[in-house]
Amino acid sequence: MSSTQTSRRTQAGTTEPAWVKWTLIALALSFIFLFLILPLAAVFTEALRKGFGAYLDALQEPDAWTAIRLTLITAAIAVPLNLVFGVAAAWAIAKFEFRGKAFLTTLVDLPFSVSPVVAGLVYVLLFGAHGWIGPWLQAHDIKIVFAVPGIVLATVFVTFPFIARELIPLMQAQGTEEEQAAMVLGANGWQIFWHVTLPNIKWGLVYGVILCNARAMGEFGAVSVVSGHIRGQTNTMPLHVEILYNEYQSVAAFAVASLLALLAVLTLLIKSAVEWQFERDQKAAALLPPENPGR
Amino acid sequence: MTAATLSELPPASGRKAQRKRPTRRVLPGFNLTLGYTILYLSLIVLIPLSALVFKTFTLSWEQFWAAVSSPRVMASYQLTFGASFIAALVNVFFGLLVAWVLVRYPFPGKKVIDALVDLPFALPTAVAGIALTALLAGNGWVGQVLEPQGIKLAFNRNGIVIALIFIGLPFVVRTVQPVLEDAEKELEEAATCLGATRWQTFRYVIFPTIAPALLTGFAMAFARAIGEYGSVIFIAGNMPMISEITPLIIIGKLEQYDYAGATAVAVVMLVISFVLLLLINALQAWQRRRAGASS
């Protein structure tokens, strides 16, 4: 009896009165509803405004298909490139001590803080007709800007830090003990990576890859600068959305946009599932008997 | 972080030698991964960005100054910074509210809301832009309620702020949330035992703990908002001197083949984003020190 009373009193000391609590919840939920749920719902209602048939027709346009294909190709190149980089950078930064490490980590983050428009511009300055190596490229009939390679490069730039950023703190927290143990047991570098490190970082890796992919498929500003907007050739899905929208083809624009919104929802679902798995793994690991009580 | 890397362990010869002797790297792959990291970073990020800076050296100081300080460009800085500042401030308030509600109160649908907070990271900016425009325009769900009251939220500066609030929301929530989760309830109980009201406990015990995280979230949302392009241009109206953001100025100059002018403005933005990145890093270091000191 007395114990329930004391616990209730401490409870009252660290929570708010019910009316404060429910007001705060209501405020937060209204904000989420207005700023996140309504825009998401608007995409789908606008896409279906003229019925499901019109929606499907809009998606069957050849230009829409080229845009979808180009977006998939871009992501299929950009994500693996940044995946390899992310793993390499995380290995070097998290497993070793060296001078300038903090500075290197800052540089890896740099593309996040550069405006996408500026990111696109730098490639135009390098590879464009008036750019540094533009004339040479033209002489050899290589097109980078206003063509697919430029779109891929700009996408690689804006998605550059995603996977490295996920992996560096994760691998730093895990330390190097397990890898060293594997080495003592005679494993070589690849064996250590495949059998020791990779299983430890797999959820962080999946997490980084899906976020990187979402951004790669959805990038607008940087790609818009380098693409040249050649319809049916250098339009990615977001650029195609812009063109349709500016031509007042609202249903078609929102139909393509709805595919991107579905991608976003799918990304959030996978992300939540990964977080859930990760927490479960952590809890399972915490239940194991401690191997090193000194830690 | 307690996990000691091997290089941190004192060598057998004693502690003093530890600092001077180059650390021995036991795990394989250091040269390979660091080399690849630096090579890839240079090719994708550093060389292109330095091309931007070198391009400005082809301008005389007067030309540069004229390009970055013309009245139209000045008006765009004012708008970009002002709108980003207001949006980040709103995000600090609502971000804290959402994080607080998610950490402290159980309510139905909490997991869905938690996952949804990342929507602005996953939803392509162009899709967010047209969705918000569709909502807030005169015939949209929100617009048709507000416009008869004389409140116009689309195609003017209000729209820019709203788009930037959308873009920046996850930054504040996701930086404050873990700090609130780790905050020790014992401190709050102690404050209550000493006679503090709930508000006093929040003001003097909880707030100082989360203040560094709030400031970091603010800086991140602000930095992201300054460079934002895709979600803003659809809703802004893009009137020169009134609702034209700085990234759009760069695009406009590029479309008129004014590469030098575009580069000059881009360099100003690049310098600002680099300063903000360093500031955010310093804030995060401060936050970690604070967290380390309190535990």
Within an 8 Å CB–CB cutoff, is residue A83 touching chain B? no
Specify the amino acid at residue B182: D
- Whether pLDDT at B20 is above 80: no
Instruction: Report the range out of A80-84, A201-205, B196-200 with the highest average pLDDT.
Output: A80-84
Q: Write down the pLDDT at residue A290.
A: 59
Q: Residues of A numbered 48-77 whose beta carbons fall under 8 angstroms of chain B's beta carbons: which are they?
A: none
Q: Write down the pLDDT at residue A47.
A: 94
Q: Write down the pLDDT at residue A256.
A: 95
A292 pLDDT tier (thresholds 50, 70, 90): low
Å from A168 to nearest chain B CA?
A: 13
Q: DSSP string spanning A14-35?
A: HS--HHHHHHHHHHHHHHHIII
Tens of pLDDT, residue by residue over A216-271, are 999 999 999 998 877 778 899 999 999 999 999 999 999 999 999 999 999 999 99
Helix (H) or strand (E) holding B265: helix B259-294
CB contact under 8 A, A32 and B113: yes
Mean pLDDT of B235-240: 89
Instruction: Determine the Cα–Cα distance for residues B238 and B232; give it in Å rounded to an integer.
Output: 9
Optimal mutation site among B25, B26, B45, B248, interface A, most CBs of chain A within 10 A: B45
Instruction: Determine the Cα–Cα distance for residues A125 and B58; give it in Å rounded to an integer.
Output: 13
Instruction: Determine the Cα–Cα distance for residues B164 and B152; give it in Å rounded to an integer.
Output: 17
Specify the amino acid at residue B116: L
Give A139-204 as a 3 state SS string: HCCCCCCCCHHHHHHHHHHHHCCHHHHHHHHHHHHHCCHHHHHHHHCCCCHHHHHHHHHHHHHHHH
Residue B22 DSSP label:
P
Within an 8 Å CB–CB cutoff, is residue B278 touching chain A? yes
CB contact under 8 A, B123 and A264: yes
For A178, counting Cβ atoms within 10 Å of its Cβ (0-12 exposed, 13-18 middle, 19+ buried), the class is middle
Instruction: Determine the Cα–Cα distance for residues A177 and A183; give it in Å rounded to an integer.
Output: 10
B185 pLDDT tier (thresholds 50, 70, 90): confident
Instruction: Determine the Cα–Cα distance for residues B13 and A284; give it in Å rounded to an integer.
Output: 40
Share of residues in chain B with pLDDT > 90 (%): 61
- Whether pLDDT at B231 is above 50: yes
Q: Write down the pLDDT at residue B197.
A: 85
- Average pLDDT of chain A is 89
Q: What is the pTM of this model?
A: 0.89
B198 pLDDT tier (thresholds 50, 70, 90): confident
- ipTM exceeds 0.90: no
Closest CA to A129 of A153, A147, A115: A147
Mean pLDDT of A33-46: 95
CB contact under 8 A, B228 and A115: yes
CB atoms closer than 10 angstroms to residue A105: 18
- A264 neighbors A214 (Cβ within 8 angstroms): yes
Optimal mutation site among B32, B37, B174, interface A, most CBs of chain A within 10 A: B37
Instruction: Determine the Cα–Cα distance for residues A43 and A261; give it in Å rounded to an integer.
Output: 8
Within an 8 Å CB–CB cutoff, is residue B283 touching chain A? no
B293 pLDDT tier (thresholds 50, 70, 90): low
A3 pLDDT tier (thresholds 50, 70, 90): very low
| Alpha helical stretches, state H, B29-156 | 30-41, 47-57, 61-68, 71-104, 110-116, 119-122, 125-136, 143-146
Q: What share of chain B is helix, strand, coil (3-state, %, to 5)?
A: 75, 0, 25
Optimal mutation site among A112, A115, A157, A269, interface B, most CBs of chain B within 10 A: A115
Q: Write down the pLDDT at residue B68.
A: 92
- Average pLDDT of chain B is 87
- Whether pLDDT at A105 is above 80: yes
Mean pLDDT of A29-34: 96
Tens of pLDDT, residue by residue over A118-150, are 999 999 999 988 788 888 888 888 888 889 999
Å from B75 to nearest chain A CA?
A: 18
Collect all residues of chain B within an 8 Å Cβ-Cβ radius of residue A263: 122
The residues, any chain, with a CB within 8 Å of residue A291's CB and separated by 6 or more, are none
CB contact under 8 A, B27 and A96: yes
Which tokens sit at B160?
């820019």
Q: Write down the pLDDT at residue A291.
A: 57
Residue B53 DSSP label:
H
Q: Which of A128-142, A193-207, B49-63, B229-243 has the lowest mean pLDDT?
A: A128-142
Within an 8 Å CB–CB cutoff, is residue B277 touching chain A? yes
CB contact under 8 A, B23 and A97: yes
Phi/psi for B99 (5° steps) reads -60, -45
B1 pLDDT tier (thresholds 50, 70, 90): very low
CB atoms closer than 10 angstroms to residue B133: 26
Collect all residues of chain B within an 8 Å Cβ-Cβ radius of residue A100: none
Instruction: Determine the Cα–Cα distance for residues B292 and B295; give it in Å rounded to an integer.
Output: 6
CB contact under 8 A, B2 and A13: no
